[in-house]
Amino acid sequence: MQRMELVVPCHFGLEAVCKKEIQDLGYDVHTVSDGKVHFIGDAEAIVRANIFLRTGERVLLKLGSFHAESYEDLFQGTKALPLEEYLPKDASFWVTKASSVKSKLFSPRDIQSVMKKAMVDRMASYYHQSFFEEHGAKYPFRVSLYKDEVLLCLDTSGDSLHKRGYRLKMGKAPIKETLAASLILLSKWREDAPFVDPMCGAGTFPIEAAMIAAKIAPGMHRHFTAEAWENLIPKKEWDYALEEAGDEIDRSLLETKKNSYGKMVDIQGYDIDPAMIPVCRENAERAGVGKLIHFQEREVGKMSHSKRGGLILTNPPYGERIEDKRNLPLLYTELREAYEDLDDWRLCLITAYEQAEKYLGKADKNRKLYNGMMKTYFYQYNGKGRK
């Protein structure tokens, strides 16, 4: 099969986690940049990356890159790319998103318009016609400009990969599924250790943890734009990848809650809002992990667990959208006190609250991340509490 360069956007600060996932799938990582991981693969790689990656936002097929400081540069650079190798005659194609950072060309709408005209010109010269009905499969393009360097890609995913399909109902400030999975992997949690999210909202952290434990591929139950690209990806590739994903599921774990070592998987989610508990359960059932998670209405200060060596992973209120900042000192103090009363547990949390360490204590590790455009911190506390 033809080998291509693929680009996986991911959360800023979590590129290493995404890189490891791609390597674990068996592919060679080409380069890593801010918020992007580039790797080499074929049609099979496009399919498997979409279905199996937990941390990437989408899978992009790179068509080319070039320098552009004017709209004429942009037009000619786009027109020079071999679009006909990817687009059939009846393709419906457009630039669905344009972004620009530190570049002379900065208007997304103008960038999209100029590039669409250049694409039509290229297709017209190749197919010897001036009009395209565009009634066939959809081929959305994404373009990014950084310091006047243009990167043009086809979006093979369609909807962002964080849309697994299980979270039909959400809380007030939900964390993305891809970010939740990234933080679980970053935390080095093992399925034989207890896992608790004491402020679980719609249940995203516990559900992603359960899917990881049961080896359920996140893209098994959704569709992708590239499924219709039969000129580039044979349908059998999708069938093979879904069969592979089905074979990998630990069905014994789903039935018995015991992992391959014979230890019980213990995943729990608490929330103070009683209305969120049935939401969590519905979401978990749709994800196929309803039997693996115990959800319960409970205050943070009443969190407890009889086992040792577990992990608390949570996304507490920041004081930005949910709660007044005046309530946060008590909340974070209660979290610290509950954590310290557990036997040799670890605590990991993502928050934008600048005073978090004042009430939690100084973290063993502190990583700056971006949740969308919001700067956040991932605090890690390792093994404190009573012995």
Span 359-380, pLDDT tens digits: 999 999 999 998 878 899 999 9
Average pLDDT over residues 267-285: 96
Q: What is the pLDDT of residue 386?
A: 41
- Specify the domain boundaries for CATH 3.30.2130.30 within the chain: 4-155
Q: What is the pLDDT of residue 1?
A: 54
Q: What is the pLDDT of residue 322?
A: 53
Topology of domain 4-155, per CATH? VC0802-like (3.30.2130)
pLDDT tens, residue by residue, 33-49: 999 999 999 999 999 99
Q: What is the pLDDT of residue 169?
A: 75
pTM of the predicted structure, to 2 decimals: 0.95
Q: What is the pLDDT of residue 252?
A: 92
* 171 or 225, which is more confident: 225
- Specify the domain boundaries for CATH 3.40.50.150 within the chain: 177-216+250-384
The CATH class for the domain spanning 177-216+250-384 reads alpha beta
Average pLDDT over residues 114-135: 93
Burial letters 290-310, b for 16+ CB under 10 A, else e? bebbebeebebeebebeeeeb
> Predicted confidence band at 387 (pLDDT cuts at 50, 70, 90)?
very low
Taking all residues of the chain, what is their mean pLDDT, rounded to a whole number?
Answer: 94
Q: Which of 87-96, 170-179, 299-308 has the lowest mean pLDDT?
A: 170-179
Cα(173)–Cα(379) distance, rounded to whole angstroms?
19
CA angle (6 as vertex; 114, 350 as ends), nearest 5: 100
